[in-house]
Structure 1
């Protein structure tokens, strides 16, 4: 099983978006329908969702007008209104606005070895009814600068690498200052980092330039440097690796000041168990072999930390979680390796190189 891939041939933002939207129309409209269902179950009205989409697009147009143009182009190609594509890109912000909660989510590990490039792996957990949303997308935001991203159909970026040797992992957070007054979507911060940054410091500066309404952590990685860039309306903090070059992150703030407003862990305490699991398996997560790193992540509830999630089909769709992908970045080569599913299904043959 592999994820669908698309390589853009167009260079301008609107044209690039329209090309993607035209080619992936069915997948994009299906992703929008899945999020519409999720928002409805979580308690949002159609009028609220449209207003939030319009607001997200307006904020994006101020912060990065070329990204707003790309969203408009994707919408045109997919036969949708621009606000509808903005809704898909702002799904984290809308879920924060609704104050939606659940018990799944992602785990990320980065190890900077004494010799050789960074060794990374993460699980990406999301709602099982959206398992057909992920895709792999390659494009050149400027000549000679290639970006490859694992994302959801219609979303401008998520986890990825660029040809300058920088990559990003992605985990959701929640903070007391999250608000329904929508700001720049955090997925677009990840996209702009991939488009523009060549260093971890540049990635953090891009994150600090955005006014946000929802929280997340973007772990930026180069061959020899890394930081978990924790983003919230209360501020941005770049958390470095420890003295041994180890940087682990789940779904709670690690920065001491931002952690004072922690929301996610109070409602989803499993994030602490997952972080302990990662720290207890540093040796395996330091392995040069990605397959070994993925297997070191493996843990199932209730007997172990819920790093590898499987949906409980007795629950409503907003409370069903599945590990939809396991991903490692090769920042030196500007590529990623992706496995469809959780660590418990990993073998040497299941990795898709992109």
Structure 2
């Protein structure tokens, strides 16, 4: 495996780490990927260990849940479990530690952690070239874990050691990603939602294929994966109670961090007193025209809403709070599924400029052997 590691723009080195360009698929030599990313993966695990501890989740419990996440991955996606184990070996971490990184959403939910929520996503279907954009909101202490990894067939924005998150594949399909919380979420760790997103990127070329894959996974927590192709889009609301489907209305899809599916919404666990998700959803609905702009930066600027505007779509951390209670829009991301491009701005929408975007193009998948 040949891995090219490229530092991204000088002004963003503290915000955005590296782009790893892999010349074969990770499963063919995951140990090399783990070795190349060892420092970043160890730092990411240490940061998550601190986050878990701050929420009262002890080290032994993290170990057990990390092992369970890897076991659930092995049952549903054996090749991805083998990849995670190989990356662990190459990085010098234990397998359960990589399981915990990939299952971090499951571990936080199992520990009954609540919070502001994260991420606002918009898709506007237009003339065979969907206009997509989202914020990726998370704790500012996890900023350094952000990375882009690409190999033949897939390009994904993710966190060090995590198999995938937001991205695009060479079949012309892309995914956005938001967290959800549902009454059916539980501590019997299931397939990590990040593994579901990655397998969709690996295997799906249509919205229906992505839907079938999502429905085949045994889940223990909730998230929404927004799937986009040149002419279709769909929000897949994942939960242990089932997978809800939200199709576009008049060519428009949006999602924040609450359920929209009529059957799943009664189990909503996110409340208005702890999250801005409902206000952000209203903002997205009200700014469809701007969010459908052909110009990427103009589209991102439509997400420039702060608390004083009535919707904290662009989040900034309150530094008076402890680290595990702070939230920030760490990245602004758009997909061009027609051209196979992933556009990433390191930071929130309010700091976007035409020059601040980093663009990554997915390479064609290697021919089947």
TM range (shorter): over 0.9
- Aligned partners of 1:101 and 1:267 also within 8 Å: no
Residue matched to 1:8:
22
Q: Structure 1 residues 267, 94: CA separation in 2 closer, same or farther (over 3 Å shift)?
A: farther
State the Cα distance separating 1:266 from its structure 2 match: 5.0
The equivalent residue for 2:367 is none
> CA–CA distance in 1 between the matches of 2:114 and 2:28?
35
1:146-295 paired onto structure 2 within 5 Å: 146-242=153-249, 244-265=250-271, 268-295=274-301
Count of residue pairs the alignment pairs up: 346
Which of 33, 48, 56 is 1:35 aligned to? 48
1:65 aligns with 2:54: no
Match of 1:132, SS state, is helix
**Structure 1 residues 88-122: Cα deviation after superposition (integer angstroms, max 9, x where no partner):** 00000001001111114100000002x23111000
CA distance in 1, matches of 2:346, 2:260: 29
| TM norm structure 1 | 0.96
Per-residue deviation, residues 28-48 of structure 1 (Å, max 9, x unmatched): 100000000000001101111
- For 1:132, the equivalent position in structure 2 comes to 144
Distance change >3 Å, CA 172–CA 267, structure 1 → 2: farther
C-alpha distance in 1, partners of 2:112/2:264? 19
Corresponding position of 2:5: none
Structure 1 residues 311-326: aligned runs within 5 Å: 311-326=317-332
Question: Partner residue of 1:44?
Answer: 57
Equivalent of 2:307 in 301, 304, 308:
301
Tell me the secondary structure at the aligned position of residue 105 of structure 1. Answer: coil
Equivalent residue, structure 2, for 1:143: none
Out of 1, 9, 18, the residue aligned to residue 31 of structure 2 is 18
Once the two structures are overlaid, the 10-residue window that deviates more, 260-269 or 99-108, is: 260-269
Helix, strand or coil at the partner of 1:312: coil
Q: Please say if residues 109 and 121 of structure 1, whose CA atoms lie closer than 8 Å, have aligned partners that are also in contact.
A: yes
Out of 308-317 and 121-130, give the one that drifted further: 308-317
CA contact (8 A) 1:175 1:262 kept: yes
Mapped partners of 1:24, 1:317: distance in 2: 25
Residue of structure 1 in register with 2:364 after alignment: none
SS at match of 1:135: strand
3-state DSSP class of the match of 1:297? coil
Instruction: Give 2:129's aligned residue.
Output: 117
CA distance in structure 1 between the aligned counterparts of 2:122 and 2:253, rounded to whole angstroms: 6
1:281/1:3 Cα in 2 relative to 1: closer, same or farther (>3 Å)?
farther
Cα offsets for 1:147-194 (capped at 9, x unmatched) = 000000000000000000000000000000100110000000000000
When residues 266 and 300 of structure 1 are mapped into structure 2, their CA distance, relative to the original with a 3 A threshold, is closer
Question: In 2, distance between residues paired with 1:223 and 1:3?
Answer: 30
Q: Please, what is the CA RMSD of the aligned residues?
A: 1.1
Aligned pair 1:349/2:349, yes or no? no
Whether the aligned pair in 1 keeps the contact of 2:333 and 2:344 (CA below 8 Å) is yes
How far has the Cα of 1:237 moved from its partner? 1.3
Determine helix, strand or coil for the equivalent of 1:100.
coil
The Cα of 1:230 is off from its aligned counterpart by 0.3
Task: State whether structure 2 residue 333 is matched by structure 1 residue 327.
Answer: yes
- Give, in whole Å, the separation in 2 of the partners of 1:137 and 1:159: 11
| Partners of 1:14 and 1:74 within 8 A in 2 | no
Structure 1 residues 284, 123: closer, same or farther in 2, change over 3 A? same
Instruction: Point out 4+ residue stretches in structure 1 off by more than 3 angstroms.
Output: 265-269
Unaligned runs of 5+ in 2: 1-11, 361-369
Shift of 1:20: 1.6
Shift of 1:302: 3.5
Distance 1:220 1:264 in 2: 23
